[in-house]
């Protein structure tokens, strides 16, 4: 059997996406192995999820560093101890330095709760409601220097129903995040997904600006 893809996951909070990845990694045939989970916050519940799954859980508190550069340098040092083939941002609520992003270029994925390029940044569910959108969703993308701007790999589209609130919509989107993140990670681990100078490619075919689209 080919070696499994070493994955390190960065979190800041609840870690439900981390849980979806843990669940997808437990079978002997799974193409990934989660080597470590790192949080910038000691109170992130995702750390507990990691420990319960027997995965090494580490905290690197950003408030203990003079600036963003110093924190990111320490983060690279910590993450690289686990020799990741892939670094996965799963609700890691930090803006990353260019140096960090360049270091992991082509092996750094993020999940964002909107149909990128719409609604980069925060409060995406409320902004989709305020705009009167009929559809919303989530995107997995390669991380580049541009915030929430790297090539999209896969999007899940969900309907917006009359009477939806930011909370009901977030719940619907979250459900799809837990489907598309393990999918994108497994593609990468199987060597099917790559970032080239042409953008994101799946099975050596360029993906469109929306990536692979799943509708529910
Ligand atoms: C997820 O909804 C993810 O899309 C979002 O944080 C949440 C983390 O939830 N990420 C971002 O907004 C990044 N810009 P989780 O901790 O339960 O996985």
* Domain extent listing, the chain: 1-103, 111-215
Q: What is the pLDDT of residues 118-158, one digit of tens each?
A: 999 999 999 999 999 999 999 999 999 988 899 999 999 99
Distance CA 15, CA 37 (A): 10
pLDDT the model gives residue 2? 60
- The alpha carbon of 80 and the centre of ligand 1 are apart by a number of angstroms equal to 23
The verdict on the CB of residue 137 being under 6 Å from ligand 1 is no
- The alpha carbon of 106 and the centre of ligand 1 are apart by a number of angstroms equal to 21
1-103 and 111-215, same CATH topology: yes
φ, ψ for residue 59, nearest 5 deg: -115, 135
Is the preceding omega at residue 148 within 30 degrees of 0, hence cis? no
User: Quick one: which atom of ligand 1 is closest to the CA of 174?
Assistant: 2
The verdict on the CB of residue 50 being under 6 Å from ligand 1 is no
CB-based contact 153:142 (threshold 8 Å): yes
Going by C-beta distance under 8 Å and a sequence separation of 6 or more, which residues neighbour residue 147? 95, 120, 121
The average confidence (pLDDT) of the chain is: 97
pLDDT the model gives residue 3? 85
Q: What is the pLDDT of residues 148-188, one digit of tens each?
A: 899 999 999 999 999 999 999 999 999 999 999 999 999 99
- The alpha carbon of 111 and the centre of ligand 1 are apart by a number of angstroms equal to 7
pLDDT the model gives residue 28? 86
What is the fold, at CATH topology level, of the domain defined by 1-103? Rossmann fold (3.40.50)
Which numeric CATH code is attached to 111-215? 3.40.50.170
Q: What is the pLDDT of residues 38-97, one digit of tens each?
A: 999 999 999 999 999 999 999 999 999 999 999 999 999 999 999 999 999 999 999 999
Banded model confidence at residue 1, pLDDT cuts 50, 70, 90 = very low
pLDDT the model gives residue 70? 98
């Amino acid at each position: 059997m080919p070696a499994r893809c070493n994955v390190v996951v960065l979190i800041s909070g609840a870690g439900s996406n981390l849980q979806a990845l843990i669940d997808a990694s437990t079978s002997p045939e799974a193409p990934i192995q989660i080597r470590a989970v790192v949080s910038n916050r000691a109170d992130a519940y995702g750390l507990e999820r990691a420990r319960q799954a027997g995965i090494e859980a580490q905290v690197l508190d950003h408030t203990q560093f003079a600036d963003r550069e110093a924190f990111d340098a320490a983060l690279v040092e910590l993450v690289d101890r686990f020799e990741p083939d892939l670094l996965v941002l799963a609700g890691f609520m930090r803006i990353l330095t260019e140096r960090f992003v360049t270091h992991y270029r082509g092996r750094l994925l993020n999940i964002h709760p909107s149909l990128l390029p719409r609604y980069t940044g925060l409060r995406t569910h409320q902004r989709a409601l305020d705009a009167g959108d009929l559809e919303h969703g989530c995107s997995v993308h390669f991380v580049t220097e541009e915030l929430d701007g790297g090539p999209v790999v896969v999007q899940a589209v969900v309907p917006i129903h009359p009477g939806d609130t930011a909370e009901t919509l977030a719940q619907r989107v979250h459900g799809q995040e837990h489907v598309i993140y393990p999918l994108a990670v497994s593609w990468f681990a199987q060597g099917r997904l790559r970032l080239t100078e042409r953008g994101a490619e799946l099975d050596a075919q360029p993906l469109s600006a929306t990536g692979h689209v799943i509708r529910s």
